[in-house]
Chain A
Amino acid sequence: MDSLSELRDWANLPPEIVELISKKVKYIVDYIRFRAVCSTWRSVPCPKQHRLPPQLPWLMLPYDASICKENGETRFFYDVWESKMRKLYVPAITCCASYHGWLLLVSYKGSEVSLLNPLTRSEVELPPFDTWFDPYYISFGKSKMTFSSDLTHPNCLITVFLEKYWVISCRIGDRSWKRYYPRKELVDATHYNGRLYLLYEGEMTIIESNKREESCVLVPELTMTIVLEPELTAVKKRFVEGKSGVYVVGVHHEGKFLYQFQEQQLKLKKINTDTSDSTAIFYGDNYPCLALSSDDWDSLDGGSLYMEHKCIPNVLKLAALKSGYNPLSVQLLDRNVTMMYEEEYDEDEPAMWFQPSLF
């Protein structure tokens, strides 16, 4: 090559190199900006979810009627990592769970159920909740949702847990939900890696679902029950699905306990929450938790618990508990998010962690 000045033209980098650099950009927002720089960079294919690490979550703020009046059907999402408030389209329907970038929207009577990705505005219709549904389930109880794989996968199983007795699942295109009947009051439930995990007070049950029989969704094949440690009784506890499996996190006002389910030994192992632990957990009182690895994100503190909880009426606080408080997180919300709550907001829909995704 003769003209070396030509070499330095960033717009003329070979496409495979541009793509490689784009792959090193991990945050979805950075990725979108990257594609807006010039048309060569724009030609980089859109990131498939599996190429990006699990995204840092935003805090989806509670439904606020006054904001909706002014802005139409929108919800605010607080991007803790860039200290920005993001406004996205979400219809004024109860949103009761979120998973990997999708929101579960349920109309008042449960007759209309759908998934919405507020970033892409894609919508997926799900079977209605039918006669058994009582608005109470999502108004006062907690609810959560998991997918067995990428939502675009034709066999992706969508599992929804509605406190305290409802574990239902369906596939896209199904006409109705299939229900699994727990034997007693559930604390939490999740579907992870082909297994159904049920958390009761004092014990936990794992059910291997029959993968061969596709029409029948949850056929118990192998069931095991694990007795929970005494310190996990009588505290708030949730399942957390992380990179390396299922965790049980127990939270009380003095701290947290974290247990990981060990697939080989079939038992729960306590995780020491010192600095060597790379798992950061995002916890919400009413909504699903999620776990991220601090190996993926420099901005995360390993072994810490990022909490969303209401301290005083109309003030939302985010606190990271880790042998004390993480001053950064507390400061973030003291400075910014509290501003949003001059008006009354819907107590039924507290803030929830939302993991942005383009798929």
Chain B
Amino acid sequence: MENSHEIKTTIYLALMMLASTLLSLCFFLHQSLRLDEAQSLWQTSRSAVGIITLVSQDVHVPLYHELLHAWRLFFGSSVPAARLLSMLFYLLGIPALYALGRLAYDRQIGLYAALLFSISPFMNWYGNEVRMYSLFTLLVICNQYCFVRLFKRMGDTHQGATWVGYMATALVGIFVHYFFFLNLLAQAAFYFLHADLFPARALRRFIIAAALVTAAFLPWVWFVHLQGQAQNQTPLLSIPTTINLFNTFAQFLFGFQSDAVNTFFLSLWPLTIIFAFLALRRGRLHSPVTEYLLLSAFLSVLIAFAISFITPVFVSRYLIFTVPALYLLLGNLFDSYAPQVGRFARSFVVLVMLVTLGVEIVSAATPVKEDYRDAATFIAQNATAQDVVALSAPFTIYPIEYYYRGQAPITTIPLWNRYAYGPIPPFSAEKLPAQVDSITADHQNVWLLLSYDQGYEQQVKAYFDTHYQRLLAITFSHDLTLYVYKIRYDTVRSQASAAVFAACMLPPKSDA
């Protein structure tokens, strides 16, 4: 009987992994490179030591980048190859989450959480992105597995292997993402609430673990401090609102949807009360593991939200590590319902997730899609050597230059020399005219590609709109728009190009 369950479970997990793999192969691996991914590729194209220096100027920690560097040496430097590394971690996360769920609750809940994980639009997105998020999630799951084993007192008396696993995952985890510390913080909070659940001398071992983590991490902190420029390399983040807070949870469940769809989901927030009401059943005792998962899923998010009022760090992908706990809690919640209600709730959530996954894949309105490939290809096909390509924000040069094979030179607004030491120069409205003059001198047309608004996009666009004739505007994806401006009127060439634009050179996507 037990064997039969094991075989079935293995088959289910294999099917989940297969489904996720197929999704990757069919859709996600072949998407255009996004800004963050381009940055990863650019950073990991350096030497191992160079990567550390570059990443220290960024907002991340370097372990994933070093792994990706090594991976690319073996598997090539194409975008799909790089994404495969993330996919590998993501796929490993499916059985890992099952194991955590089985340990925390039971086989059914573990399987359900793994199913949600495998069809999650949010997890699929980051499971196929050339970033550290799938590795981050996998490590958190492994770390939580060890932590739950500790307070459930599984294994041998001293739980030596579990402690080693716990410390190892913690040590590795902190070098994959800074937010791994929030995971540890939730665990510390749980320990102080339920110290009695842990084996004797657990406090001493946690202190040792904390000392090890601190000792290992301090050199990195010191090194980053020496570099001292991370704040200027990062995209602009604003102070989050409660809408961001709820959007984060909506994204965890339904992925990246258009504003209209998000509004639909968020407006129905009172319905979450029904979920709580239906869980009111006699004898459904709360368990410490549920408390732990609640802390893990919500405390971390709330802390990040609170910190963001001092330093904005509230980005849903940074909080991806709370997703496994959230899915486990959902599984447990539905398990607490009357059987028929539980089955309905489970199926309903799976259905909605599948639909939103489909929408996320197919819809052009998916807000996180960044079609730099089409934009670069279009520019390459249409811009001439007499034209110039201006990118703003400057760091979007990473994905563009990955695809761009055109004749027109590329520059940025504000002007930025990536190879010079130091951060990206800040935008200055006073310097803008001079910078634009320097860019436009000796060129026929400016191909201005705007994305990742850093707070000055409208000023740049307004400047061009008021000083030059706009020939074309094309939106390639959400927040990625190309404007073409005519600079000179004194040559035959410029007259000819104006005629071409006037003939409405329509791109494959929308024409603004």
Indicate, yes or no, whether A interacts with B. Answer: no
